[in-house]
């Protein structure tokens, strides 16, 4: 899922006119509930999904596709908790001469971790899909967050768009030339994409920074007040 799609919904959702401070407070309270609650923490994820799809009008398919992204990090962590090679396992199999199994404690802990992680990600998606970044930064600036931290966040956000745009362009060009038609071609194309990606992205970032300087940038991005 590309960044511009997130940015589009941040500006075109039914909760767009709600003050960003209200949404930030809502997310902060929800995160507090996630950190302190018990097994019912999974309800936060379902509640956020309902608010996003029914309240803000964000397509359910988009939300589900976004939830798939963090699974690449979450699943290995959960498996590391579930699997155990000790003697006190509830169920086990033999893999390459090693006894690998699961414990009841590990299953419960993994379930809690998975639900808590998905709930936290849902909170962040709620903020990203309903509130433009300038509005979020404006609220954070008013509550005293250091300007340097906000500038780093804003520039990093912008450079992510540059990275995604360059990667997409290179990938489409390689695909049009049959670069991913075989296993060998996939490895070669991915290697070329990685090498060119950082080179071209660095050049584009330099051009973007020069454009900012030409428009009077002095270590602070000035945007109109929002919310």
- The domain spans of the chain are 3-131, 138-214
What is the DSSP secondary structure assignment for residue 54, as one 8-state letter?
Answer: I
Q: What mean pLDDT do residues 9-26 have? A: 92
Q: CB–CB of 120/166 below 8 Å? A: no
Say whether pLDDT at 203 is over 50: yes
Chain segment 177-201, per-residue pLDDT in tens = 888 888 888 888 888 888 888 888 8
The mean per-residue pLDDT over the stretch 205-211 comes to 83
> Among all chains, which residue has been given the structure tokens 């988009």?
62
Contacts of range 193-197, beta carbons closer than 8 Å, 24 or more positions apart: 193/167, 196/170, 197/163, 197/166, 197/167, 197/170
Q: What pLDDT, on the 0 to 100 scale, is given for residue 3?
A: 46
Does pLDDT of 4 surpass 50? no
pLDDT at 24 over 70: yes
Does 135 have pLDDT greater than 80?
A: yes
Structure tokens at 43: 């309800």
pLDDT at residue 195, as a whole number:
86
| Residue pointed to by tokens 């009008």 | 57
What percentage of the chain reaches a pLDDT higher than 70?
Answer: 85
In angstroms, rounded to a whole number, what is the distance separating the alpha carbons of residues 222 and 18? 22
Q: What is the mean pLDDT of the chain?
A: 83
Task: Measure the CA–CA gap between 180 and 68, rounded to whole angstroms.
Answer: 23
Phi, psi of 149 (to 5 degrees): -65, -40
């Amino acid at each position: 899922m590309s960044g511009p799609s997130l940015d589009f919904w941040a500006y075109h959702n039914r909760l767009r006119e709600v003050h960003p401070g209200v949404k930030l407070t809502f997310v902060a309270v929800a995160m507090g509930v996630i950190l302190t609650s018990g097994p019912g923490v999974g309800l936060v994820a379902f509640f956020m999904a309902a608010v996003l799809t029914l309240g803000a009008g964000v397509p359910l398919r988009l939300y589900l596709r976004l939830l798939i992204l963090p699974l690449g990090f979450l699943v290995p962590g959960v498996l590391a908790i579930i699997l155990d090679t000790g003697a006190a396992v509830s169920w086990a199999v033999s893999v390459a001469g090693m006894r690998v199994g699961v414990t009841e404690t590990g299953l419960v802990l993994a379930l809690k971790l998975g639900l808590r992680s998905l709930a936290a990600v849902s909170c962040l998606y709620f903020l990203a899909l309903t509130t433009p970044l300038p509005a979020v930064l404006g609220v954070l600036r008013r509550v005293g967050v250091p300007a340097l931290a906000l500038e780093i966040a804003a520039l990093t956000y912008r450079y992510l768009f540059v990275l995604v745009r360059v990667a997409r362009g290179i990938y489409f060009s390689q695909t049009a030339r049959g670069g991913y038609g075989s296993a060998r071609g996939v490895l070669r194309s991915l290697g070329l994409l990685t090498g060119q990606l950082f080179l071209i992205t660095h050049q584009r970032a330099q051009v973007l920074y020069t454009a900012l300087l030409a428009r009077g940038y002095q270590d602070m991005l000035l945007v109109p007040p929002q919310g």
